[in-house]
Structure 1
Amino acid sequence: MHLQDFKTVGRNTHAQNEDATLNHGSFVHVTVVAENEAALRSVVYSDPILVDLTPPVISVIKDGGDEEDVDFQQSDVITLHWNVTDDESEVDFCEVALGLSPGSGEVHQFTQQPSLYSATFDLSGHLTHGDTVYSTLRCHNYAGMTSHVTSDGVTIVTQPPNSDHAIVETMSETQSYFPSSAFHQSTDDVIHLSWEGFFDVTGIRNYQCRVTGPGLTDFPWIDVGLNGQTHATLSGLHLHGYNRYDVHVRAVNHGGMVSDDVTSDIYVEIERPLVMGNRFRSWWPQQGVMVFDWTGVFLSNSSLVYEVSMGTKAAGTDVMQWRETEKTEMRLDGVDSNKEHHVVITAVNQAGLCTTGSFVLSYPGSG
């Protein structure tokens, strides 16, 4: 293919043609003819010149080592690896800039690297916890073409997560109609827990929890929340009744650094209140006024709440229904002393377990 006829350039030792149409990957051959005053000529042929119209191809760029891309690290030494090729004119050199946003260079301006495959920068004293460093790579081939690409960044992690505002709560499974009170449960083989308030600007990778208490001195830390959950269930436990256990939770960031643990306690009570029916007392201080006392009737290892109903027949509630109290004495006015009264008292402990006692009251001398 003919690109240009011979053109005189006088005594110049250089020439150029800006109108030629070149095809990528083709070879250009240049012929120079020199002629003196005696019309004698010499002809010189150049080596073939490869036409390269494309920049280098950067196929891979990775923060960190050459095995896999790193998104988080504790070190202030930034390492970059890449793969660049140019099948036509080959890669001449590469430059790298570092910044805190993609494509920027405020941390380190573009500098030519001695290697065509990697670069390392020691930024000690220039980075803080939570900084994300983006590396921008710019490679040039021998044809003067340039390509560039920016890494997805690596975040510097130098501090553990903060737990100053974190809280941990235990959640009990209901074993009866009545809910358990805070920090109490009636199951001895499982603990449900939730947490919130752990914070790390670099993000939380997962959480860890453990239980300590009687019989659990060697209980290990267990990884939980691997997919962002802030709750967990610990099952297969062997908790001892009437004992207090501590539930510990801590956060782990992407650098593997661990926060201080936050603790909540749980009291295990697995038995219902006992009934001592012969201790129930009642009296009529005056006509139409009834007082009854059940102090000591119900025995429990935790404080009790009572639900009291009264009727004029067994299991009836025509006088009073489901009145809740923490006291063990009750006074009722306007009670018909000519009728027999049936009292039903349900004692509920802090774990939500309950026991019911039934008692019959009548006015002395009635009937």
Structure 2
Amino acid sequence: MQGTDSSAPTRIRVATARPYDVVVGTGVLTELPALLDAGTRRVAVIHPQTVGSTAEAIRADLAARGLDARLLTVPDAEAAKTVEVASRCWSALGQWGFTRSDAVVGVGGGATTDLAGFVAATWLRGVQVIQVPTTLAGMVDAAVGGKTAINTAEGKNLVGAFHEPAGVLCDLATLATLAEDDYVSGLAEVVKCGFIADPELLDMIEADPTAARKPDGPLTASMVERSVRVKAAVVADDLTESVGSSGVLGREVLNYGHTFGHAVERAEHYRWRHGAAVSVGLVYVAELARLAGRLDAETADRHRRILAALGLPTSYRGDWATLLAAMRVDKKARGDRVRFVVLDGLAKPAILDAPDPALMRAAYEALG
């Protein structure tokens, strides 16, 4: 498949009103300077310490080209997505004299690209941002699509903006530096894409789950490319999570498994990896759809089998009242109604609006 050869990166066009490319391959970070607007003088490279060497290589390359490029180190993972960290970034941009012709580069996992995008969206009402995801979840989900956000005490991603990047560079070589659990966590987002739109992803994983678990394995490039294509098609149709051309379900489809998953993250004070929480969320919503008579038992059970084969969690026990309260403030909720993306069949996503509370509780009990 195109893109598996490191000498020929794959370019996936995100055809929104301001189209851009997601480039997938090895050694693609050299393309970053060409993405900057003419007239750019200053670049802030926002990154956690865990990817400091990659961020420094980007900074040095930009500096060698005459740009005033500076590193802005932030906490790792969800600890970066706070108003306090965003405020520190804004202060740095102000002190460095950032203007609307300057740029932000986000280097790291999904939390970092969320933060970098939000800082870029809000500084001077919007400056250019280029995303360099270095985790699997960042590549296949967070960095693509222009959705940016930070968390609050009340929930995840409740404060944010839609701000499209000038480009996304997915250098597969950066995945080799990940701990195995971090890489495997990102596979939950790949599985999500398989169930909502591209069943071939599921077939690939089922055929060789061991290979799917390896960052440098034979399936990695194809999994990233196919997942990015799923997201690119959805956001091109519905950038701002309003409604798709179907008139029923647009960008919300990308939140399959996330309503319950985000509730788990909040209940666990973000100590769970995002992908692990999404994995449990996928099992939960499959059970919910099965109990509601929307999804056949075989497809619901397939969620558990695939996720378990990858080493992802498929069960969870917490405080139901806490989880329910978190789901009620989920960004997909409408008024006091909880909404879930469910499946009416494989690759047939739909909405389940305001399900019976007893049904929701029964699906939770099935996670035991």
Q: TM-score, normalised by structure 2?
A: 0.17
Structure with more relative contact order (C-alpha pairs < 8 Å, separation 6 or more): 2
Q: Would you tell me which structure has more strand in proportion to its own residues? A: 1
